[in-house]
Every structure is written in C-alpha cells, then in structure tokens.
Amino acid sequence: EWDIAAGQILVEEAGGGMCMLNGERPRYNRNETLKAPSFLAFGEQRERWLGLLQD
C-alpha cells in the first residue's frame, strides 16, 4: 500500500488529488492488506471523474 503514497503527495502538491474508487481518501498502514487498492488520481474536477467511473 505504501507504494502509492509518494505518488499521492506529488499529485496533491501539484494541485490535484487522489481518492479510492469509492471517493474516500487512501488510508495507509492498515492491517487488512498490503496490496494497494484501486484508486483515481486527478488534476481537478474530482466529482466529474468519480461520476464517469460510476456510469
């Protein structure tokens, strides 16, 4: 799961964002899994991108 943390901070520092496919922010250091779940990195318009995924 930590393999996506560096990418997340780079995207966020550039003004974008990252979320899981359900819209929640990634959470790290959880016991359930070491495997990174699916996520979405975006430059802007988070709601628009999430809406496209749900269609």
At 1-55, the pLDDT tens digits run 678 889 899 999 988 888 888 888 888 887 766 666 788 888 877 777 777 777 5
Task: Give the helix, strand, coil percentages of the chain, each rounded to 5.
Answer: 40, 15, 45
pTM given for the model: 0.66
**How is residue 52 written in tokens?**
């496209």
Locate the domains of the chain by residue range: 2-54
Burial class (CB in 10 A: 0-12, 13-18, 19+), 6: exposed
